[in-house]
Amino acid sequence: MKKQIAGVVFSLLISAEVFYGAQADQGDDLCKLGIQAYEQEKYEEAINYLAQASEMGNAEAQDVLGECYFNGYGIRSNPEKAAELFQQAADQDYAKAYLHLSDCYYYGFGRGEAHQQSYEKAMELLKKGAELGDAETQYALGLRYFGSGMTTEQDYKKAAKWLKKSAEQGYAPAQCYIGECYSFGLGVEKSMKKAAEWYLKAAKQDDYGAMYVLSGFYEDGRGVSKDSQKAVEFLQTSAEGGWISSQVELGRRYLQGKGVEYSTEQALKWFQKAADRGDPEGRMEIGRYYYVIEQDYEKAFAYFEEFAQEGNTRSMIVVAYMYQYGIGTQKDADCAKKWIQKASNLGDQMATLILEGKVSISDNSVIQQTLQ
């Protein structure tokens, strides 16, 4: 009788193991389908698969479904539900869930009792995820120690440690940051050669920020052999990829004929691309082009005035100068003073010096410095 009971129990255990194993496999398959749909931005389809997999206990599905709820992808945004799903995934030691749950604690999303804002808890969760080996979480932890975005004691050695762990796994943003660490000797011994090596690794993954930095490295021969042609190639690729700083710099090169054929048309094209995305440098360069090169002062004034009205203090000083001397507009000393006052009120040091009489708006160096 005992042998029969033992046999029945054993059979039940085997059956349960087979059942749960099959369920886990089904959950994995549903999760893969959900992630595939998610990556294709078919969010409603993704949620259908992910919700089923999540119910089966698939941690990755719980985490990605949490992102859908958090961001409102294919469903109404619900941070509290997102936090619950991140917690479920984290309870299974799914590393990336610790990163997402950390954000919930940092920002106080999912405002139930379990997820009240807590910087200490947020940091604790990041450490757990990083120790489990997730590259993105290691990167995030490195940034926290770097002093970017969380109230924790700045520690460059710890920052470099975690950034390097992430970079060694091939995570491009971390490769850029560890490159910066080596560039400035932050938490590691300064080495321009190692910095260049890490930036090159990131650039091979189409990291346009890394390409922008490498352009400067090759132009100046920092950490690599000087090569002006490579400098331009990296800059061009980065600009075409949408990196704003590269677009502005490439525009400047076209105006200077530096490494490229002189072309005002190309210069304006790249300045405009940056300006269209709201970049202040790109917009200043367009105004500067009309003022200095085309000497179309009415067009320059209209451009700078529009930018000044949006709150750009450098444009305010240029507009004040143009009013002061009637350049591209009627001469109006009162309007000039008004714009200088506005710029000063917004914290512009040059404008404040002008108001205090320590610098004269008639000084050519003022307008030259502002237009740079």
d(CA 210, CA 106): 29
Boundaries of every domain in the chain:
1-132, 134-205
Q: At a CB cut-off of 8 Å and minimum separation 6, what does 51 contact?
A: 61, 65
Residue partners of 36: CB distance under 8 A and separation at least 6: none
Q: Return the HEC string of 150-204.
A: CCCCCCHHHHHHHHHHHHHCCCHHHHHHHHHHHHHCCCCCCCHHHHHHHHHHHHC
d(CA 260, CA 246): 14
Q: What is the pLDDT of residues 74-129, one digit of tens each?
A: 999 999 999 999 999 999 999 999 999 999 988 887 655 555 778 889 999 999 99
pLDDT of 151 reads 59
Can you give the pLDDT at residue 316?
95
Give the span between the Cα atoms of 214 and 196, in whole angstroms: 7
The one-letter code for the residue type at 238 is S
Length of the chain: 372
**Cβ neighbours of residue 254 under 8 Å, at least 6 residues apart?**
260, 261, 262, 263, 264, 266, 267, 270
Tell me what pLDDT residue 318 has: 94
b/e burial code for range 302-330 (CB count within 10 A of at least 16 → b): ebbbebbeeebbbbbbbbbbbbbeebbbe
CATH of domain 1-132: 1.25.40.10
Task: Report the distance separating Cα 257 and Cα 261, nearest Å.
Answer: 5
- Cα–Cα dist 165/174, whole Å: 9
* Per-residue model confidence (pLDDT) at position 148: 57
Q: Which pLDDT belongs to residue 113?
A: 53
What confidence score (pLDDT) does residue 154 get?
87
From first to last of the 372 residues of the chain, give the pLDDT tens digit: 555 555 544 454 444 444 444 556 778 999 999 999 999 999 999 999 999 999 999 999 999 999 999 999 999 999 999 999 999 999 999 999 999 999 998 888 765 555 577 888 999 999 999 999 999 999 999 999 988 555 567 899 999 999 999 999 999 999 999 999 999 999 999 999 999 999 999 999 999 999 999 999 999 999 999 999 999 999 999 999 999 999 999 999 999 999 999 999 999 999 999 999 999 999 999 999 999 999 999 999 999 999 999 999 999 999 999 999 999 999 999 999 999 999 999 999 999 999 999 988 888 788 888 887
SS3 29: helix
Top CATH class of 134-205 equals mainly alpha
What are the CB-based long-range contacts (under 8 Å, 24+) for 19-25?
Answer: 23/56, 24/56, 24/57, 24/58
The phi, psi pair for 57, rounded to 5°, reads 90, 15
Predicted pLDDT of residue 252: 97
Q: How far apart are CA 217 and CA 223, in angstroms?
A: 7
pLDDT at 364: 79
Nearest CA to 178 among 166, 161, 163, 157?
A: 163
pLDDT, position 18: 44
